[in-house]
Structure 1
Amino acid sequence: MSVPDDLAAAFTTHRTHLVGVAYRITGRFGDAEDAVQEAWLRLSAHPEGIRDLRAWLTTVVGRICLDQLKSAASQRERYVGSWLPEPLVTPAEGSDPLDVIVRDDGMRMAALVVLHTLTPEQRVAFVLHDAFGVPFPEIADTLGCTPATARQHASRARRIVEDADVPPRVDLDTQRTVLAEFLAAVATGDLDQLLRVLHPSAAFTGDGGGRARTTLNVITGHDKIARFLLGLRAMYGPQTLAAYRFGLVNGDLGLVLPAGHGPDPRITAFAIRDGRIVAMYDIANPDKLTHIEFDETPQP
């Protein structure tokens, strides 16, 4: 059956939105694209009788993502080390379609990390309702439960997210200043300066998936993180820092390390609180970096 051109055009206008929905739920860019493609196939098979195309597609994508999460549950249980969402790296000038996605406050790496501590049902209910305004009866249909249960899933998720107290996004100028001080402290091996730029309650999370070098366990406390970083400096040499480049990672300033410069290629995202780095997310699992063009990552 041929698909009307106007239907294909209408779907295209919603595609970026749908990728954002799916990525926030799954935390994986490839899975998000697969979910959107599957939504298109379902739409093209039954295009009649849809009054609100955007709402219908959003709900369908939510249902597909829920199935993805359930099928991936056993893989997550066997995952080596900490699991972090795949990073989205975009140009500073906003020329990438993904820029529309990452501008949303909920797309920050720190926010996504908390989101992915939720159960699949809580995550789908919270994202669809709180982020995209889907009514609970439609969410209930997606989850296969009653509207009251769907509301309960979203309410529990909301409490967890609020209790996590994720630091708000700060402006890029502030981020650039803090990261410049951080890099200078590591480059010179200045422990005292490094302790000043790291928040006392800072946490360092590495995700290598058992396939790349990074810390297996979360490192907490600015003193332990500082000594860990200076240990890396001693191991790989200060010249490795020169290979790092700034990039926008999920809308915030982060660091990009291409291959051939000491440790494995990686993306490092940050969260800042009170002018200090309060969280570092080191993503080195190569499976989570396949969609990133390291050689063309621009400098903001």
Structure 2
Amino acid sequence: MNNENLLTEQFEVHRSHLRAVAYRILGSWDEVDDAVQESWLRLSRSGSSDITNLAGWLTTVVSRVCLDMLRSRKTRREEPMENHYIDFLPDHVAESDPVHEMLLSDSIGIALLVLLDTLNPEERIAFVLHDIFSLPFKEIAQIVERSEPATRQLASRARRRIQGANKTFSTNIDTQRRLVDSFLTAARKGDFEALLTLLDPRVVLNNDRENAPEETIGARAVAKQLMGGRAAAARAALINGKIGVDVSPGGTLLLVLEFTYLNDKIIGVDVISNAARFPELDLVQLEE
């Protein structure tokens, strides 16, 4: 095996990790592969024989690439969240960390990326690399070109902002019930525009039904999926501690809509029709 093939093979071992880092930093699938590809190009030009810790080197490089992309994004005043599909959960967070519970909350994927998008690029890098990937501040300082104490301050400020903003995103049970009642009314009447007002523009629908798209993204596309059907048999239900919808024509449970809420809107819909999954649900039907 020649040196180029060996280098390619070594890079591929780390590709999934680099994509995870890039996605959590950027929150955009459209940009992730560009960042990873740029990391590969820099590696191929680096004279890799001097690299003793390839995983660490690549993590640093992809983070720097992402930082440049974030800075460019802010300059262009883009709104990058509209076309995202949130897929990854943070997988490297210590349970003792004060942000741990928020990171693993119901709306983790979408909510965290929305919150991260409120940070400046340096804060975002510091928070993601330290609080999610446990990189030492000494290494992060080199990426953001700050002193180690200043980098600690970046992460601390980001953490406080995320924790504070997360409180404003919570949707209480009464508001959930109001949203679901309005959802059912709109679905039964076929009122498409009313249904749109209840959905966050970034809403994601996951569907386990046969002959249906597994994933649908965006308020209009999701609303079209949810209109009509068996709305007459749909009722509000408490599902795993949140208000959702169960559809039980003739008293037989047919499917369940489990909602994720963000900022008093519906931002996630899980359509569950596989009867084998029903026993896993803590479901209580509610009176209208």
Q: TM-score range by the shorter chain?
A: 0.5 to 0.7
CA contact (8 A) 2:85 2:217 kept: no
Between the two proteins, the alignment pairs up a number of residues equal to: 207
C-alpha change, 1:39 and 1:245, in structure 2 (3 Å) is closer
**Counterparts of 1:37 and 1:88, CA distance in 2:** 21
- What is the CA-CA distance between 1:165 and the residue it aligns to? 4.3
Give the secondary-structure state (helix, strand or coil) at the position aligned to 1:145. Answer: coil
Sequence identity, in percent? 35
* Moved >6 Å (runs of 4+): 265-268
Q: Distance in 1 between matches of 2:182 and 2:52?
A: 58
Pair 1:281-2:248 in alignment: no
TM-score norm. by structure 2 comes to: 0.58
Per the TM alignment, residue 18 of structure 1 is displaced from its structure 2 partner at its CA by: 0.7
The CA distance in 2 between the partners of 1:273 and 1:156, in whole Å, is 33
Give the structure 2 partner of residue 18 of structure 1.
18
**Structure 2 counterpart of 1:7:** 7
Whose radius of gyration is greater, 1 or 2? 2
- Which whole-Å CA distance do the structure 2 matches of 1:63 and 1:31 have between them? 14
Structure ranking higher on relative contact order (CA contacts 8 Å, 6+ apart) = 1
TM-score by length of 1: 0.56
Q: CA 1:258–1:66 in structure 2 vs 1: closer, same or farther (change >3 Å)?
A: closer
Letter in 1 for 2:109: R
Look up the equivalent residue of 1:227 and give its one-letter code. Answer: S
Q: How does 1:171-182 map to 2 (within 5 A)?
A: none
Asked if 2 retains the 8 angstrom alpha-carbon contact of 1:267 and 1:282, the reply is no
Q: Where does structure 1 lack aligned partners over 5 or more consecutive residues?
A: 90-100, 167-196, 203-221, 238-243, 249-253, 284-298
After TM superposition, list the pairs within 5 Å mapping 1:43-192 onto structure 2.
Answer: 43-46=43-46, 47-76=48-77, 79=79, 83-84=81-82, 86-88=84-86, 101-102=88-89, 104=91, 108-165=109-166
CA distance in 2, matches of 1:36, 1:126: 20
Are 1:199 and 2:162 matched, yes or no?
A: no
What is the aligned counterpart of 1:256 among 215, 218, 225? 215
Q: 1:155 to 1:281 in 2, by over 3 A?
A: same
Query: What RMSD, in angstroms, separates the aligned Cα atoms of the two structures?
Result: 4.1
1:275 and 1:255 map into 2 onto residues whose CA distance is 22
CA shift for structure 1 position 145 = 1.5
Counterparts of 2:118 and 2:184, CA distance in 1: 27
Q: Distance in 2 between matches of 1:14 and 1:274?
A: 38
1:234-264 CA-to-partner distances (Å, cap 9, x unmatched) read 2349xxxxxx97349xxxxx973489xx944
Ranges in structure 2 where 5+ consecutive residues have no aligned partner: 92-102, 194-203, 226-238, 244-259, 278-288
Amino acid across the alignment from 1:22: A
